Amino acid sequence: MRSNDPAGRLRTRREFLKRSIALAGYPLAGAVALPWILPARALGRDGAAAPSQRIVLGAIGIGPRGRHDLDCFLAEPDVQFVAVCDVRADRRQAVKVLTDAKYGNHDCAMYRDLFELLARPDIDAVLIATGDRWHATASILAAKAGKDIYSEKPCGVTIALCQALDDTIRRCGRVFQTGTQRRTVSNFQSAIHMAHSGKLGEIHTVHAGIGGDLSNRYDWLPAEPEPPKDVVDWDRWLGPAPWRPYNHAYVDGGWRGYFDFDSAASLLDWGAHTVDLCQWANHADETTPVEYEPSGNTITARYANGVKLVMRSEGWLAMGAVPVRFEGDEGWVETDDSGKVAVHPASLRGELHVSPQAGGISAAQNVRNFLDCVKSGARPVSHSGVMRHSHLTGHAAALAWQLGRKLTFDPVREAFVGDDEANNLRSRAMREPWHV
C-alpha cells in the first residue's frame, strides 16, 4: 500500500537515485576529495525539479489524444518521461523523437510489450491512452505492477470492467486519474458551483450531451495481410477484444463505432464527460440513477432523490460540443467546450468565474492534479470511484437504449432489477490470455 507520507516518498526516491549513481560508477559524496560537479538540471536550477522530486513516467498507447496528454505531462517540470510502449512502430518512434529532442539525449526507451515497461522499477506512473478496449486491462495490470495511472476514457467497455478497475485501484492503493479533464476546467467548474450554490433553487433536471448516433457496428472490414509484428503487432492491438482479421483502417482510428472495440458508441465517448459532470452537479459521485428509459436517441434517467438526468444527442442553446445544462426551480446554467456559460436569470451572471483559458479540450490542469496526488497520495478529482459511478450510469443508459426498454437499476448491488438479459450484458467475454 502507498504511504501517505510525502516525505517518505521523497526519501525513497533519493535512495533510488543514490543506488543508481553508485551502479553507474560515479563516486558518492564524501568518497573522494575531488569536487563532484553536476549539471544545473540535476540540481533543479534550470526550472526543472531535482531528481528526488521528479515523477518518472512511462506511456502505453500514444495516438493523437495520447500525444496531447503527453505534451501536458512533458510541460510539467517535475516529470521525467523515460519510456513509451505502443504496438505501432511509427508511434513508438514518434514519441522517442519528441522526448529525446526535449531532453537533449537518446534515452527514451521503446517497447512493444507493455509488460516490459511495467516491469521497470524506476517508473512511478503511466499514461494509458490506448483504444477503449485496452483501458481497463492495461490500468489493472499497471496497478498490480505498483504504478500510478492516468487513463484516458472511457476507462472500461463494460460495467464489469469498470467495477474491476475501481476495485483493483483501491486494493492496490494506487493513485488513479480518469481523463475526464472537464472537472478541472473553469467554465464547467463555475457551472457546477452555480448548481451547488442554491442560487438556481432546487436542482430538478440535469442534461448531458452524448454526441451523435448511438448505434454500433458488428461487421468486419475486409481482411488484409498482417504486417510484421515489429511494424504493427495485430494480436496485441486486439488485446482482450475478440479476434478478427487485420485491416489497416482499424489501427488508423477506424475502430470507433465497432461494438468489439468501443464503449457504447458515442454515449460513453462523450457521456464519460457530460454524465460525469451531471453526477457531480447532483452530488451523486457515489451512486447512480435507479431508472433508465429510452426514447429515440434520448435516454431519461431518474435518481433516488428525484432528480432527472436527460442524455441526448442534441444541445439546447447550440453553444458547441460536449454541452451540459443544470436546471433548478429558480434558474438554469449551461456550458460546453466553447468556454461560454449561459445562465438564467441574468442577474446571476456576476456569480460566474471563468478564466480566459476556459474550454474543455486541454488536459493540463487534470494532469497537474494527478501529479500533485502522486506526490501526496491524495485522491484526484476524477479518481476511480468517480469513474465507476459515472461510467456505470453511461453503460446502464446504453443498455436501456440497446434493449429498447425501461430498466431499473440497484445502485447498491450495481445490478438491474428483475432483468436477467440486462444483467448478462454487464460483462463481455475476454479473449485469452487476457482476464481481470
Give dist(CA 227, CA 230) in Å, integer: 8
- 433 cis-preceded (ω within 30 degrees of 0): yes
- Domains of the chain and CATH, by start: 6-181 (3.40.50.720), 182-215+263-360+390-424 (3.30.360.10)
Query: Mean pLDDT over residues 280-295, rounded?
Result: 98
Helix axes 159-172, 384-403, angle to 10 degrees: 170
What would the pLDDT profile of 77-112 be if each residue is shown by its tens digit?
A: 999 999 999 999 999 999 999 999 999 999 999 999
Which residue carries 526543472 as its cell?
Answer: 48
For the chain, the distance separating the N- and C-terminal CA atoms, rounded to the nearest angstrom, is: 20
What would the pLDDT profile of 211-247 be if each residue is shown by its tens digit?
A: 877 888 999 999 999 999 999 999 999 999 999 999 9
Nearest residue to 334 (alpha-carbon basis) of 355, 321, 319, 348: 319
Nearest residue to 287 (alpha-carbon basis) of 389, 171, 363, 188: 389
Reported as a pLDDT band with limits 50, 70 and 90, residue 321 is: confident
Model pTM?
A: 0.89
Give dist(CA 379, CA 288) in Å, integer: 20
Reported as a pLDDT band with limits 50, 70 and 90, residue 273 is: very high
What would the pLDDT profile of 129-177 be if each residue is shown by its tens digit?
A: 999 999 999 999 999 999 999 999 999 999 999 999 999 999 999 999 9
How many Cβ atoms from other residues are within 10 Å of residue 193's Cβ?
A: 16
Q: According to the model, what pLDDT value does residue 106 have?
A: 97
Q: According to the model, what pLDDT value does residue 265 have?
A: 59
Reported as a pLDDT band with limits 50, 70 and 90, residue 353 is: confident
Reported as a pLDDT band with limits 50, 70 and 90, residue 27 is: very low
Reported as a pLDDT band with limits 50, 70 and 90, residue 357 is: low
Q: Which backbone phi and psi does 317 adopt, to 5 degrees? A: -105, 10
The answer to whether residue 376 scores a pLDDT higher than 70 is: yes
Q: According to the model, what pLDDT value does residue 297 have?
A: 87
- Name the region of 7 (left: φ>0; alpha: ψ -120 to 50; beta: rest): alpha
For all residues of the chain together, what is the average pLDDT? 89
User: Which residues, listed in sequence order, are joined to residue 79 by a DSSP beta bridge?
Assistant: 55
Question: Does 319 or 398 have the greater pLDDT score?
Answer: 398
What would the pLDDT profile of 1-16 be if each residue is shown by its tens digit?
A: 444 454 445 445 435 4
C-alpha cell read off for 130: 490506448
How many Cβ atoms from other residues are within 10 Å of residue 371's Cβ?
A: 24
Q: What percent of the chain has pLDDT over 70?
A: 86
Reported as a pLDDT band with limits 50, 70 and 90, residue 49 is: confident
Q: What percent of the chain has pLDDT over 90?
A: 77
Reported as a pLDDT band with limits 50, 70 and 90, residue 318 is: low
